[in-house]
Structure 1
Amino acid sequence: MTVSLSRRSLLGRGAAGAAAIGAALAPAARARECGALAPGRKESLYGPDPRTAHLVFNENPFGPSPKALEALAEASTQGAYYQGKSVAYLAEMIAERHGVGPEQILITNGSYEGLTALGLAYAKKGDILGPELFWDSTALFVENNGYGRIVRAPMKGKLEVDLAALEARVGEGTGMVHIVNPNNPTGRLIDPSELRSFCTTVSPKTMVLIDEAYIELSDDPDGNSMMDLVRAGQNVVVARTFSKIYGMAGLRVGYAIGPAEVIQRAQNFVVSSPNVAGISAAIASYDDEAFLKTSKSKLLQARQMIMEGTKAMGLDPLPSQTSFVFVDVGMDADAFRARMAEKGVVIRGKYGEHTPYSRVSCGYAEDVKRYLEAIPYAMEA
C-alpha cells in the first residue's frame, strides 16, 4: 500500500502532538501565580513565565551568544529575502570541522525536522528500531501518522541502553536503528567503544542514526561521538543541534551528517527551508569557543547542584552526561510534578511505565535552588 505524503496531511495530523505539548505546559500555567519576578528577568512574549523556575524542556538559558545576537540584528535587516548562500556557508563550516564533504550535511529547522525526514525516508524500508526509552518524538510522528512502526528493545540494569538486545532485533524488516547518545530522558552515555562496535556490526545491515543533541555536554565530546564512523564511510548518520549547548532552541537550527546518498534521501522528505535568523546566529556562534566553554560550565554547575542536592535528600539520580537529570523521586512522577508546580517549579512528569522517574533540566542556579527547596513539599503528598 502506498501512503500519500503531503504538506496538508502532515499538518493536519498534528493534534496528538499539540495535546502532548499542552499537557506538558499545564503545570507551568498552575505555577504562574506562585512567585515574584526574579531579579534581571522580565515579562516576554517569547519565553517562559519569569515567575517560574522553568526546568522542563532542557533549554539553555545562557544563550544565544553575544556574537549570535549581533548576527541576528544584522540578518533582520535582510529579512525580506530568503537565505541566499548562508545555508551552504554553514554546511561548509560544519563539513570542514568534521572532515567530510558539504554534500554530507543536511541543515534543517531544528534537528526535529531532520530526524523526522530520516524516519520518514527509512520507514519506507522497514521498522524504526530503538531502545525502550529514547527521545522518540520524531519516530512517533512517523508511527502515529501511519508511515511506519517503532520496535523497541528493553533497557538493561538501571535504564541503560542494551546494545545486545537492539542487535538481536535487527533483521530484514528493520529500516533503521535510532539511538540517542547521551540518552534522553535518562541522561546516560553509552560506552563509546561498545557503541562503535555495535555500529560497525549493524550498519552494513541497516542505517544507524545516532542523535548527539547533548554530546557537547559530555565529558569527552570528540571521543564519545560516532563522527569517526561517518568519516570512515560507514552507514551511520550523526545528528546535532544548536538548541542545547548553543542556547538557540527557539531559533531552530539542526543538522545531520552522513553518507551523501542517505542525506539526499532524507532531503526529499524535508518540507521547509531553514530560517535566516537561525542560520545567521548559527554561523556566528559555531566557532565561538569562549561562549561554549562558559555555557557548558554553567550547565554542568547546575547539574552538579541537582546531583548533590537530590542525593542529600535520599533520592536516586541517574548518572548524567547531559543538561538534565533523571531522578528516582520514589513516588508517581506526575503527582510530584503537580506538587512542584504549586511552588512555581516546572519539570517533566513520568515516562511510560517508569513511574517514579522525574526529569529536571539544568538552568539558572537560582532556579535549581528553588527546585531543590521545593522537593520536601512535593514529597509530603
Structure 2
Amino acid sequence: MAVDLSYSPEVQDLTQRTRAFIDDVVLPIENEYAGDIVAAGGDDLRRELNAQARAAGIFAPHAPVELGGLGLNMSDRSPVFTAAGHSTFGPVALHLGAPDEGNVHMLSHIASAEQKDRYLTPLAKGEIRSAFAMTEPAPGAGADPNALRTNAVRVAGGWKLNGVKRFITGADGAGMWIIMARTHGEPGDRGGATMFLAPGDAAGISVDRYVHTYDRAMIGGHCEVTLTDVFVPDEDVLGEVDEGYRYAQVRLGPARMTHVMRWMGIAERGHEIALDYVSEREGFGGKLGDLGMIQQMVADNEIDLAASRALLTRACYELDQSEHASNSTSIAKTFGAEAFSRILDRCIQMCGGLGVSEDLPLARLANELRPFRIYDGPSEVHRWALAKRAVGRARKQREAGVKHV
C-alpha cells in the first residue's frame, strides 16, 4: 500500500494563509528593523501581531483547541510552522516560537488539571510568555544534563531551589517558569532531577543579565538567572519527583522538530532570494543561473531542502505514532541544522557582494541559523548518541548469535 504524504485541504489552506500573513504583515516589520525584535517593539509588537494572527485564524496552530489553538499534530504542524518561519518574527507572531511552543506541548501532556488552569491556559492563549530553565554555567548542566547542579531541598509544604542558570531563552519578562533541579544524587549521577513550575514573579528568581548571541529574534533574550531559596509548593511539581529527565523527553523530541520546521522556513526564504537574483543577474554572457557552478549550488540547495523535509516527515510520523523517536529526531535535527547553514552560505555566495551587504537579509539570516547547530543539543552530542545506540544494537545482536557477513 502506498504511503500517503499529502496534507489535508484544511492544512494546505492554513499553510497558504500563514504564508500570506507572513509576507504581507510580518516581513515588512522584520525588514524595517533588520530582524531585531527588541528594536521592533518586543512584547508590545508580540501582542499586536498575536491579535492580528488570531483574527486571521492562524494563531497557535499547535495549542489545544479548547484553549484557542488549532490542535495540529506534529505532521500537520510542519508546513504551517515552516511557512511561519519565512520571517524570523513569524514564530513570535503566531505564538509558535521557542520556548513557549515546547512548553505548551509539555504542559498539555504532563500538567495536572490545576496546573493547566494556572499555567497552561494563559500561556497557550498568549497572555504570558514562559521560560524553560535547565542549562547552567560550567561545570553545570549543558549538553550533558546529568551535570545538573541546581539543587532542590525538601521543606515543609514543598521545596526550596538554589542555583544558577544560563542561556535561558525568554527569561526577561517570562510570566511562568519550568525549572529543572536536582532532587536526588550528585552532579554527574544519572537521573535524580525534577521539574518545578513557578510564576514569573516568584520570590528568589533574579534575571541577572543577557548573554548576547548572534540571533536577535527571541523576545526576552538568552539570560543568566540566579535562583535563591525559591519556594515551590508540592502542587507545583511537574510530573513525579526524580523523574524530570524522563518527562522532559515529552518536550525535547517534538521541540527539536519544530525548531527544524521554523528554521527550514529561513532556509527556504534564502533559497528563494538567491534564485530570484541568479535568474535575472547578467554576467559572463548570460544569466548567472545558466552557469554550471551556480547551478550546482542551486541543485545542492534543492537536495538539502528535500532531504531535510523527508527526515522531518519521518520523525514527525513516529512522534504522532507515540514512538520515542530518539534516532529519527536526532538525525533530522542534526542534518537540518547543518543543511540550513550550508544553504544560506551558498545563497550568500550566489549573490556576491549583495549577499554580505544589508541590501539583502541573507547575512543576518545566516546568523540566525548558525546557533541551531548548538541549540537543542550540539550536532556532536546527537552523533555520539546515535553511534552509541547503533553500537549497542550491534552488540546485542552479536550476543544473540546474529552475524552480518
What is the TM-score when the length of structure 2 is the normalising length? 0.23
**Structure with the largest fraction of helix:** 2
What is the TM-score when the length of structure 1 is the normalising length? 0.24
Mark the structure with the bigger radius of gyration. Answer: 2
Q: Which structure is richer in relative contact order (CA contacts within 8 A, separation 6 or more)?
A: 1
